[in-house]
A and B are shown apart, each in its own frame.
Chain A
Amino acid sequence: MADFFQQVVAGLASGGIYASLALAIVLIYRTTRVVNFAQGEMAMFTTFVAWTLMDRGLSFWPASALTLAIAFVGGVAIERIVIRPVEGAPVLTVVIVTIGLALLLSGLAAAIWGSEVKSFRSAFSTRAIDVGGVVVSVQDLGVIAVSLALVVALWLFFRFTKLGLALRAAAVNPDESRLVGVRVGWMLALGWGLAAVLGAVAGMLVAPTVFLEPNMMRAILLYAFAAAVLGGLDSPLGAVVGGLAFGVIQNVVETYVEAVGATLRLPVALALLLLVLLLRPQGLFGRAAVSRV
């Protein structure tokens, strides 16, 4: 039984990372109606930036803070330069642009930092502590805590600040928001900036475990998509619940179902994604899209 709880906690930890990335995806989808296929590569790139800062002598916390700032600026810049021009374009063009962005970042990372694996310092110690018979690592607990803190911070931002309200207004009804003085364009850019920050956090949380290299986030992106769809693409709460749930499901299935080993991780994620899309496309917490004919 204790073993089971251990797997659950470990699942929650990886789930926390999926949740952070899923939250970024949902944030962008809600504010700009774009599915950002480059979310994973953006996270990977900013993690490399953090690594470089620490390599140059900066200690962990200042480096992380600076990285988050850089990520924010980067996200804003990407939205204004690359996404803005294709705002009204057909879905496929936008998809290609975000995919092109992913390729660009992936190529840049490989060119600048090389493809050999690098180690990344963890924010938390790797000690293991005993909580009532269940052995959990401080790192796992730290990841869970950070993910939850992020969600709460975002919730507070959206609910209680003027800027958060403006962002929500711009997403729900751009035209009327303009009428009351909301700079819709900059709100969209803000959304991308925040999402980039979320991605950076996710990247820095996962890098110690999976080691830093250009392909680090690829599989995680799929898991994050599966989590976001599971929770509902337009629901931030859903992204978090979906992420945590997915992490637990993934871990438990891998450990206890014989036929599924670690090699089938990706197909299992895909199967879950397909299942949700077919049975309940709006996910657990999303709103069902009904179109009037």
Chain B
Amino acid sequence: MRPRLRLGLKLTAFALGVVALAFLPRYVSDFRAFELHRVGVFFVAVLGLNVLTGYTGQISLGHGAFMAIGGYTTAILMTRYGVQDVWTIPVAGVVTGLAGLAFGLPALRLSGLYLALATFGIAISMPSVVRRAEGLTGGTTGLNLFGIPEQTGLGLEVRLLGRTLTYNDWLYYLTWGIAVAAFALAWLVLASRLGRAFRATRDSEVAATSSGVDLAATKTLAFGISAVYAGVAGSLLAIGTAFVDPNTFPITLSITLLVGAAVGGLGSLVGPLFGALFVVYVPILAERFGGEVGGALPPWGQRIVESPTVVYAAVLIVLMLVLPSGAGGLLGRAADRTQRH
């Protein structure tokens, strides 16, 4: 298939996708709209993580911590400084981006498993730091964003596409509007020279350096960009839940993000969508599935099958064994078939 044709097809698919997203809330329940808002949040976060891990080859087990930075930035700006929630999003992105750059510098000396360990440590210790900085973060009690004047969407009469938006619809459009922009931005960055530097770093650092790629700058930028995405996602999550405390961004969040990236397929821009759908819906489906199947089992057997964590983990392990390159990898291989070899 000719390159121009492929590009045209991709753009058409993108346009269709955007249209579908715009009209979706009309046809789904209000609660579903909230669920889809969460899918959007994870989509943005996993997209960012994918830039770092899938395209640049740096493992991060700590992106939940970046989401926490974004989320808390939003919460603090809203409660202490009276900033309207929508305007806190870019600020959260910038702040988290700076944190990402700051971490990217020492991370230059680490690679592979050691980087995984270091970022794992960050994820585990973040809740403690949040608790300790009580004055700023509200410690264990957290910060409440519900009902304060800085919260847009409640009591606002917004009409879009011929209907008045409910609060969840507003969240949906806010999140997916940003998600679409984030997707487009990622696509542009990855198609640029920087994107090629990312891929070169992932494929072979030695070859990359010999070709003139500045490894330090590339890796640091990858961390920074992925952190911006995570920060924005965290900000949206905070706005959506209207409350932040150390449990809003637990250790498992970092793992969830990495799972989303791996399941969706690293090195793919559409992959994060599948990854986000996986991490949001598998636990929900697990609970439903468990309830139906568990009837014949003894009580502890029932609890096992009903446990979202167990089903989620089991599906994850099987998926990794069967499809090491994730859903995106599968799509990639299918797309490759359309190319003439």
Question: CB within 8 Å of B: which residues of A?
Answer: 35, 37, 82, 85-86, 89-93, 95-97, 99-101, 103-104, 106-108, 110-112, 218-219, 222, 225-226, 229, 263-267, 269-270, 273-274, 277-278, 281, 293
Q: Answer yes or no: B220 CB below 8 A from chain A CBs.
A: no
A233 to chain B, nearest CB (A): 8
Among A91, A92, A111, A265, point to the contact of B128 (Cβ < 8 A). A265
A108 lies within 8 A of B131 (CB): no
Question: CB within 8 Å of A: which residues of B?
Answer: 53, 59, 61, 106, 109-110, 112-114, 116-118, 120-122, 124-125, 127-129, 131-132, 206, 251-252, 255, 258-259, 262, 266, 300, 303-304, 306-310, 312-314, 316-317, 320-321, 324
**A residues within 8 A CB of B252?**
103
List the 9 closest pairs (A to B, CB-CB), nearest first.
Answer: A107-B309, A104-B313, A270-B121, A103-B313, A107-B310, A266-B125, A111-B303, A267-B125, A111-B307
Q: Show 13 residue pairs from A and B whose CB-CB distance is below 8 angstroms, ordered by the A residue.
A: A92-B59, A93-B320, A96-B259, A97-B317, A99-B259, A103-B252, A104-B314, A108-B307, A111-B303, A264-B128, A270-B121, A273-B117, A278-B109
Beyond contacts A95-B61, A100-B316, A111-B310: 10 other A-B pairs, Cβ-Cβ < 8 A, are A89-B324, A92-B59, A93-B262, A103-B309, A103-B312, A107-B304, A263-B128, A263-B132, A273-B121, A274-B121
**A residues within 8 A CB of B312?**
103, 107
A33 nearest in chain B by CB position: B113
**B residues within 8 A CB of A293?**
206
A102 to chain B, nearest CB (A): 8
A108 nearest in chain B by CB position: B310
| Bound Cα distance A246, B61 (Å) | 23
**A residues within 8 A CB of B129?**
264, 267
**A residues within 8 A CB of B304?**
107-108, 111-112
**A residues within 8 A CB of B110?**
277-278, 281
Among B114, B124, B324, point to the contact of A266 (Cβ < 8 A). B124
B106 lies within 8 A of A274 (CB): yes
With A91-B59, A96-B259, A99-B258 in contact, is A270–B122 under 8 Å at CB?
yes
